Amino acid sequence: MNVYLPGSLSELWSRQEECGMAQFFAGGTDLFVKLRASAQYPRALIGLEAVRELRSIEEREGAIFVGAGASHTRLLSHPLIQAHFPLLAKALRVLGSPPVRNMGTIGGNICTASPAGDALPPLYALGAEVELRRRDRSRRLPIHEFILGPGKTALAENELLYGVWLKKDDSPALFHFEKVGPRKALAIAIASFAALINSTDAGIVKKARFAWGSVGPVVVTSREAEESLVGFPLTRESLQRIVPIVDKIVSPIDDVRASASYRRALAGNLVLRLAEYGPREMGGKGEGLTRT
């Protein structure tokens, strides 16, 4: 097996043409575990670590572009992510351990398409788009159209995840990410929940975005749940109206980490817990955040 480490996209396309079917790897924290377990190796591996175009995190066309090769650690310390997407930072802070965050990338987390991927619920709640590239073509898709099922994406043959586009929305918002695992650290989510809430000065919800991880084959979202909170304060009573909706939309499985019924109960309880948190625990972005 040959391993290539191109330094630029043009070199990457040339390597890809040379070796035919090659598999990409970024940090290798998912892929190498899988390859070792299956003992089936591709003919060639192309590493993305040195491809400079995949490392950029910058403001472009009024949005923030995050290269697929940006590591979780780099995202966590980047001022643009801290300023505009603290929801994503909150999730990345509990992804794996420091070595996993140093090696692992946002692109790898998305392409792995695990229902338990920690970056995914925030990316869905933030309305992220992914940019895919081949030598001769580039296309953009909303993240929910890219992830098709556990381990399944819309990546075509020879296509690369180039990066993620995040719209800036600097209106005041409360944000929250919580994952429940078998233990506090280094835990794969049994269930996770991301929330982004804009409210009036009086604490009445104007807009809500919710996304649940690990309770279905892909991240679960629900316009019905989000809209049912609009016009109400962020109290346990208002949040209670979402619970039956959550019960309807999730489709968890039993596995070694938890039973489906436990996951189903968690998905609703994570919503109710929003009422227990103040802006400090949830995280408040912008001035004038109030709650009832």
Ligand X SMILES: Cc1cc2nc3c(=O)[nH]c(=O)nc-3n(C[C@H](O)[C@H](O)[C@H](O)COP(=O)(O)OP(=O)(O)OC[C@H]3O[C@@H](n4cnc5c(N)ncnc54)[C@H](O)[C@@H]3O)c2cc1C
Start-to-end Cα distance in the chain: 61
Among 6, 16, 22, 25, binds ligand X (CB under 6 A): 25
Among 126, 161, 219, 250, binds ligand X (CB under 6 A): 161
- DSSP single-letter state for residue 196: E
Residue with Cβ nearer ligand X (119 or 274): 119
Q: Is residue 204 packed enough to be buried (19+ CB in 10 Å), middle (13-18) or exposed (0-12)?
A: middle
Per CB under 6 A, the segment of 99-107, 203-211, 228-236, 246-254 that binds ligand X is 99-107
Cα 212 off chain centre by: 11
Which residue blocks in the chain are alpha helix, DSSP H? 9-19, 31-38, 72-77, 79-84, 86-92, 98-103, 106-112, 120-125, 143-146, 223-227, 236-240, 243-249, 260-272, 279-282
Touching ligand X, residues 139-158 (CB under 6 A): 155
33 scored as a contact of ligand X (CB under 6 A): yes
Touching ligand X, residues 165-184 (CB under 6 A): none
CB of 127 to ligand X, least distance (A): 20
> Could you tell me which residues come within 8 angstroms of residue 130 by beta carbon, excluding any fewer than 6 positions away?
110, 140, 141, 142, 143, 146, 161, 163, 164, 165
Q: What is the pairing mode between strands 57-60 and 22-25? A: unpaired
Residue with Cβ nearer ligand X (51 or 229): 51
Among 66, 70, 88, 103, binds ligand X (CB under 6 A): 103
Per CB under 6 A, the segment of 14-22, 103-111, 223-231, 277-285 that binds ligand X is 103-111
249 scored as a contact of ligand X (CB under 6 A): no
Among 100, 148, 243, 249, binds ligand X (CB under 6 A): 100
Cα 4 off chain centre by: 28
Among 109, 199, 214, 238, binds ligand X (CB under 6 A): 109
Per CB under 6 A, the segment of 6-14, 22-30, 192-200, 218-226 that binds ligand X is 22-30
Binding site for ligand X (CB under 6 A): 23-31, 33, 48, 68, 95-96, 100, 103-105, 107-109, 111-112, 117-118, 155, 160-161, 186, 188
